[in-house]
Amino acid sequence: MHSLLALPMAYLLGSIPTAVWVSKIYKGIDIREHGSKNAGLTNVFRVLGYKPALPVIAVDLAKGFFAPFIAMQLSTDYGWLPVTAGLLAIFGHSYTCMAGFRGGKGVLTALGVFLALQPVLALTCFAFWVALLAATKYVSVASIGACALLAVLSLLGYFANNFLLVFKTDIYILALSWLVAAFVIVKHKTNMVRLWNGTENGFGKKRKI
Spatial distance between the Cα atoms of 15 and 92, rounded to a whole number of angstroms = 4
Q: Report domain extents, the chain.
A: 3-197
Instruction: Look up the pTM and report it.
Output: 0.92
Spatial distance between the Cα atoms of 201 and 137, rounded to a whole number of angstroms = 9
Radius of gyration of the chain (CA): 17
What pLDDT tens digit does each residue of the chain (209 aa) get?
588 899 999 999 999 999 999 999 999 999 999 988 999 999 999 999 999 999 999 999 999 999 999 999 987 767 899 999 999 999 999 999 999 999 999 999 999 999 999 999 999 999 999 999 999 999 999 999 999 999 999 999 998 766 667 788 899 999 999 999 999 999 999 999 999 999 888 875 555 55
